[in-house]
Amino acid sequence: MSAPQSKIIVTCAVTGSVHTPSMTPHLPITPTQIATSAVEAAAAGAAILHLHVRDPKDGRPSADPALYFECLEQIKGRCEAVINITTGGSQDMTVEDRLKAPLELSPEMASLNLGTINFALFPMIEKTKSFKHEWEPKFLEGTRSGFFRNTFADIERILSQLGAGGTKFEFECYDIGHLYTLAHFADRGIVKPPFFVQSVFGILGGIGADPENVLHSKRIADKLFGADYRWSVLAAGRQQMPLVTLSAINGGNVRVGLEDSIYIGKGQLARSNAEQVTKIVAILQELGLAIATPQEAREMLRLKGANKVNF
């Protein structure tokens, strides 16, 4: 079984590349907006801040290291949360693009998608009344015929190059096979425990957002990794709060944030990342579960520390 823990690690995915500015006016876009939203989420109880950046002119996903640095400098000066940079970005970016900022900045953590998948966002077109920017519907429609690439060679490259600087990974598993991919790299000694496994539910092209799938994913992870991993769950859209709560009840950690869902309740847009963090923290505390501080999360995941990053 996954390593026993007395406290729950709350991760907040602050902006992401899934939703577009037209879907919600509350999505942080500029480096200052992203940093402010991240710091507010940390104050609400998030120990880990998962970050993407966007072009401040029109909100499109970006891989620009300068934008990351502008965000990170502001966040690090205002809170103690662990900063976790994406290596995913968007399917329009090359692996080289996606690695530029993490390699330059050497964060404590980085996300890593464990496979090439159909990452379908095109159904969101029909749910969006109108678009502010020309790139938005084209970006969403492109996911009908496109795919997100992370081959075994890509994954090994990211693990070896970024891991060499002491960065550890949030292993994003969009299907059961991704758990076996992680086991493959663990068996080869390319990654070392404890593994932070983020099971992802509800993305069209990945495993569905069903309670049965959550429990099945944990069973397989327990079989593959025993006590060598920490488990967490994120769920897209309306299943966000129910499924992350199910994770916590079963000994796992949780991830919320506007990357994964732009809602706080049925038909009600979340006004901030902090609002989602506040809600899940209240739920967990009502269940008698304690929330990990950033320093406790660092110890649980054996991170290198905020003094060993390049920002």
Domain boundaries, the chain: 7-308
| Residues in CB range of 115: below 8 A, 6 or more apart | 150, 155, 174, 175, 177, 178, 181
How is domain 7-308 classified at the CATH fold level? TIM Barrel (3.20.20)
> Helix, strand, coil: what percent of the chain each, to 5?
40, 20, 40
Question: From the CB of residue 282, how many other CB atoms can be counted at a distance below 10 Å?
Answer: 12
pLDDT at 184: 98
Is the alpha carbon torsion for 73, 29, 107, 260 positive or negative? positive
**Each residue of 259-284: pLDDT tens digit?**
999 999 999 999 999 999 999 999 99
Q: What is the pLDDT of residues 212-250, one digit of tens each?
A: 999 999 999 999 999 999 999 999 999 999 999 999 999
Q: pLDDT tens digits, residue range 140-184?
A: 999 999 999 999 999 999 999 999 999 999 999 999 999 999 999
User: Which pLDDT belongs to residue 6?
Assistant: 81
Say whether 154 sits in a helix, a strand or coil.
Answer: helix
Residues 119 and 88 sit within 8 Å (Cβ to Cβ): no
What string of DSSP letters covers 193-219? SSEEEEEEE--BTB----HHHHHHHHH
Interatomic CA distance for residues 60 and 251, integer angstroms: 36
For residue 3, pLDDT over 70 is answered with no
Mean pLDDT score across all residues of the chain: 97
**How far apart are alpha carbons 43 and 66 in whole angstroms?**
25
pTM above 0.95, yes or no: yes
> Does pLDDT of 1 surpass 70?
no
Whether the per-residue pLDDT at 4 is higher than 60: the answer is: no
Q: Please count the CA atoms within 13 angstroms of the CA of 194 that sit on its side-chain side.
A: 24
CA distance 134 to 190: 42
pLDDT at 134: 97
Over 70: is that where the pLDDT of 129 sits?
yes
Report the C-alpha gap between 155 and 95 in whole angstroms. 10
161, containing H or E segment: helix 152-163
Q: What is the pLDDT of residues 32-86, one digit of tens each?
A: 999 999 999 999 999 999 999 999 999 999 999 999 999 999 999 999 999 999 9
180-203: average pLDDT:
98
| 171 three-state secondary structure | strand
At residue 96, does pLDDT exceed 60? yes
Give buried/exposed letters for 24-33 (b at 16+ CB in 10 A, else e).
Answer: eebbbbbbeb
Q: If pLDDT is split at 50, 70 and 90, which confidence band does 2 have?
A: low
